[in-house]
Copies of this chain bind each other. A is one copy, B any other.
């Protein structure tokens, strides 16, 4: 294992420390076990927005704390759901009497623990509800869309929910628009190399020097097909065909696109993906109103990328482009 780390058992806590030291005005470490990250300056008089999930995906999840984004976030071990305790701590931190929305990527542990945390919060008279992000089209068929994993679509849903809360939406309004954002998101990834979980010490999976896996999950979950690597244009075309098969694009559709690097892929290559995807989508009449390219949802040093499309309407576009203060989101 070739990493710039110390003791693997302390990896998560030390990285969190580093994050908080880098952005002392934005992130603070809290909670009984130090596994809640929260805004340094709590927001007042608005619906709270929180999340939580396994580690190793920075900026997902906790990186999206900030004004107009998340108020707090529970942090698990690498690729493992956090306990419900930091989730409950996050909910309590974020609650200002108007309720709290929990944005949950669709992984078993995250769902179960957030369910529990919401129920616990209710016992303390805090209204906390969940919205599930399940955008990875490669992880289940259209019929079983509810079983899909949540990946980079999380970023959009968090931005939309955070902006809605900041604008004074009520809890049910924030939940509705977050649900709409989630419903409108489709993602697919490709992996070129594995990552290594520090505590495991060796690569999560093996892939040949000339192969690429379409649809691989952000923890190395199997995708929809392994093949010889082609040109980036060919790869993008395959990715788009999966996305558009799931939700066909109409001429005139307005969309946001997020070209996301998994951590080990240079940004140069992400621009090549955007270049092809934009040309292909515009070819079918789609209007790309909002473009992001960068490392927004990663798997440590995994090489690869994902494309997320979100169908836009006026409300989503207004919220997506609303001002926010977060190190990982430029306005």
**Chain A interface residues (CB < 8 Å from chain B):** 2-7, 11, 14-15, 17-19, 21-22, 56, 58, 190, 192-193, 195, 209-210, 212, 229, 231-233, 235, 263-275, 278, 291-293, 295, 298, 300-301, 303, 305, 327, 330
Contacts and interface: CB of A to CB of B under 8 A. Distances in A.
Given A298-B266, A330-B327, A232 B275 contact: no
A11 B231 CA distance: 11
15 contacts: A2-B193, A4-B265, A4-B269, A6-B232, A11-B268, A14-B272, A15-B271, A15-B272, A17-B271, A18-B272, A18-B273, A18-B293, A21-B274, A22-B292, A267-B298
Residue among A2, A190, A229 with the most chain B CB within 10 A? A2
A268 B58 CA distance: 7
A269 B231 CA distance: 30
Nearest to A268: B15
Contacts of A19: 271
A5 B58 contact: no
Contacts of A265: 4, 301
B305 A4 contact: yes
Contacts of A267: 58, 263, 295, 298
Copies per assembly: 2
Contact of A209 (B2, B298, B330): B2
Given A275-B21, A293-B22, A268 B300 contact: yes
A17 B2 CA distance: 34
A14 B275 contact: yes
Nearest to A7: B231
Contacts of A15: 268-269, 271-272
B21 A291 contact: yes
Nearest to A271: B18
Contact of A21 (B190, B264, B278): B278
Nearest to A329: B330
A64 to B, nearest CB: 14
Contacts of A300: 266, 268
Given A5-B269, A21-B271, A22-B291, 6 more contacts: A4-B232, A4-B235, A4-B305, A21-B291, A22-B271, A22-B274
A212 B266 CA distance: 20
